């Protein structure tokens, strides 16, 4: 019988990759907390209506990439392909009465039925943030600044740039779209099938075209800036001014657009300028009309961003950032006798309680076999306890880096090793610092 393999386009995350993922989550969480964001997790499944109302039926996500599920009562559900609509749904259900605006971040798995390839998976993780309820250009700038701070903290500062643009309001866009359609009306013979489809169904996306012929034509196309109202221009100018105050370098790119109706004003994208890839790592957007499109009676201003964790992890791994391995075994106990095993077992526990990463060799195979294992797991020190050592309450301590060996009394062993390993490599965590004990309220009998 064949053993079932993992589902195409999905991956197991373990070992070094998992360590990078943890690092990225830690850096992001720290940056978000510094900026007053708290974490939100939304369900993986939502009713299909939510996604249909929030994302046009015509987009690739809805037409091809959705993971749909029919539950046992024949309800159509969809696995989260992006988080913004999920969070807006949750906001309307839970947070309307909270102090506004609300600041939420998420680190969540997402699902899209795409053709799997490098950096494109069917299950992937996004890290993102949303600020809901306020329309203020400083928030757009602040989100871009947070994103940049995350990249700075993981030492990718020189390889990325942020591209920004304004796509104003949907009304202004409508007028521009008409002008764009008129411009291309007698140039359709120069467009490929993809761009023709875009022109028909979602004309702004033609500005995103990768086709060099279309890009050439676009140089002569009407410019969006000619269709803007004063307020929209002022909003965009303010975002740029705040970015300058916050010290964020940006590049303006008027071809940067997003097709959906509810997007407005600022859009931005983080792109790799190091030459490693053409793909964007993530992008951000203002979406003041989303609440209305999913059925809320009024518009609710909001701004957010999302980046792909896997893409970023693979960038970090390919760049010069090498993570310390905190799971390395600092002290490995080899025991050559049942009595020795009984002696080293509590020592192993005590080592862990002193935040020294230690492990005990199992069973009692030969010294050679146990030593081989110690080598294989890259143990930093090995404490060998044989019959004589057990009787004299000592061990032979081997430094696996220098190859030297010395006899050490068991009562001194842990402190001795702790002084030799890097103090900052000890894995400190004290759960007691994370809670307070609350006295139960006594009720009168």
Is 84 annotated to bind ligand?
yes
Q: Which stretch binds ligand AMP (CB under 6 A): 100-108, 278-286, 367-375, 416-424?
A: 278-286
Q: Does 205 bind ligand AMP (CB under 6 A)?
A: no
Q: Does 311 bind ligand AMP (CB under 6 A)?
A: yes
Cross-strand partners of 384: 334, 396
Q: Does 259 bind ligand AMP (CB under 6 A)?
A: no
Is 83 annotated to bind ligand?
yes
Measure CA 389 to chain center.
50
Q: Does 282 bind ligand AMP (CB under 6 A)?
A: yes
Q: How far apart are CA 203 and CA 286, in angstroms?
A: 20
Q: How far apart are CA 204 and CA 174, in angstroms?
A: 10
Is 263 annotated to bind ligand?
yes
Q: Are the C-beta atoms of 397 and 381 separated by less than 8 Å?
A: yes
Is 115 annotated to bind ligand?
no
Q: Which of 277, 276, 288, 285 is nearest to 307 (CA)?
A: 285
Q: Which stretch binds ligand AMP (CB under 6 A): 93-101, 285-293, 306-314, 318-326?
A: 306-314
The CB-of-77 to ligand AMP minimum distance in angstroms stands at 20
Q: Does 417 bind ligand AMP (CB under 6 A)?
A: no
DSSP code at position 396: E
Indicate which single residue of 280, 343, 400, 426 sits in contact with ligand AMP (rule: CB under 6 A): 280
Q: Does 140 bind ligand AMP (CB under 6 A)?
A: no
Is 82 annotated to bind ligand?
yes
* 3-class secondary structure, 61: helix
Which tokens in the block code for residue 343? 């002696």
State which residue, 52 or 120, has the beta carbon closest to ligand AMP: 120
Q: Does 399 bind ligand AMP (CB under 6 A)?
A: no
Is 176 annotated to bind ligand?
no
Indicate which single residue of 91, 124, 184, 333 sits in contact with ligand AMP (rule: CB under 6 A): 124
Q: Which of 107, 80, 79 is nearest to 23 (CA)?
A: 107
Could you tell me the CA-to-CA distances from 93 to 128, 137, 180 in Å, in that order? 20, 26, 39
Residue-by-residue DSSP string for 218-275:
HTTSPPGGGG--HHHHHHHHHHHHHHHHTT--EEE-TT-----TT-EEEEEEEEE-SS
**Stretch 32-71: interaction string toward ligand AMP, x if CB under 6 A:** ----------------------------------------
Q: Which stretch binds ligand AMP (CB under 6 A): 13-21, 44-52, 308-316, 358-366?
A: 308-316
Q: Pairing mode, if any, of strands 302-308 and 280-286? A: antiparallel
Q: Which of 349, 352, 331 is nearest to 395 (CA)?
A: 331
Element housing 328 (H / E): none
State which residue, 177 or 306, has the beta carbon closest to ligand AMP: 306
Indicate which single residue of 120, 175, 296, 416 sits in contact with ligand AMP (rule: CB under 6 A): 120
Binding site for ligand AMP (CB under 6 A): 82, 112, 114, 119-121, 124, 126, 280-283, 306-308, 310-311
Binding site as annotated, residues: 82-84, 112, 126, 130, 258, 262-263
Binding site as annotated, residues for L-histidine: 82-84, 112, 126, 130, 258, 262-263
């Amino acid at each position: 019988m064949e053993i079932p393999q993992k589902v195409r386009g999905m991956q197991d995350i373990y070992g070094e990759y998992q360590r990078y993922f943890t690092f990225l989550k830690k850096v992001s969480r720290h940056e978000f907390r510094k900026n007053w964001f708290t974490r939100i997790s939304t369900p993986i499944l939502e009713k299909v209506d939510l996604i249909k109302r929030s994302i046009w039926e015509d987009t690739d996500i809805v037409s091809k990439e959705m993971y749909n599920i029919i539950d046992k009562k024949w309800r159509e559900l969809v696995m989260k392909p992006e988080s913004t609509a999920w969070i807006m749904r949750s906001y309307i259900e839970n947070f309307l009465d909270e102090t506004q605006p609300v600041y939420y971040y998420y680190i969540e798995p997402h699902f899209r039925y795409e053709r799997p390839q490098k950096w494109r998976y069917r299950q992937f993780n996004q890290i993102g943030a949303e600020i809901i309820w306020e329309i203020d250009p400083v928030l757009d700038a602040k989100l871009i600044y947070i994103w940049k701070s995350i990249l700075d903290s993981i030492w990718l500062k020189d390889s990325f740039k942020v591209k920004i643009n304004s796509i104003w309001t949907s009304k202004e866009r409508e007028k521009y779209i008409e002008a764009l359609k008129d411009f291309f009306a007698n140039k359709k013979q120069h467009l490929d099938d993809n761009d023709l489809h875009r022109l028909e169904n979602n004309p702004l996306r033609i500005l995103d075209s990768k086709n060099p012929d279309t890009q050439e034509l676009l140089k002569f196309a009407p410019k969006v800036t000619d269709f803007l109202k004063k307020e929209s221009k002022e909003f965009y100018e303010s975002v740029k001014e705040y970015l300058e105050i916050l010290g964020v370098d940006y590049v303006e790119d008027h071809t940067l657009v997003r097709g959906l109706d509810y997007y407005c004003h600022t859009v931005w994208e983080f792109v790799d300028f190091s030459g490693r890839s053409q793909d964007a790592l993530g992008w951000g957007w203002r979406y003041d009309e989303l609440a209305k499109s999913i059925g809320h009676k009024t518009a609710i201003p909001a701004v957010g961003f999302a980046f792909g964790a896997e893409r970023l992890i693979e960038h970090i791994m390919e760049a010069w950032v090498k993570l310390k391995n905190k799971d390395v075994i600092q002290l490995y106990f080899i025991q050559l006798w049942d009595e020795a095993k009984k002696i080293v077992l509590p020592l192993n526990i005590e080592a862990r309680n002193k935040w020294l990463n230690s492990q005990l060799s199992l069973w009692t195979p030969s010294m050679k076999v146990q030593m081989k294992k110690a080598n294989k797991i890259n143990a930093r020190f090995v404490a060998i306890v044989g019959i004589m050592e057990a009787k004299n309450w000592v061990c032979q301590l081997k430094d696996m880096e220098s190859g030297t060996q010395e006899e050490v009394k068991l009562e001194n062993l842990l402190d001795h090793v702790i002084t030799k390993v890097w103090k900052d490599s000890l894995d400190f965590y004290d759960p007691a610092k994370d809670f307070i004990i609350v006295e139960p309220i006594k009720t009168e009998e």
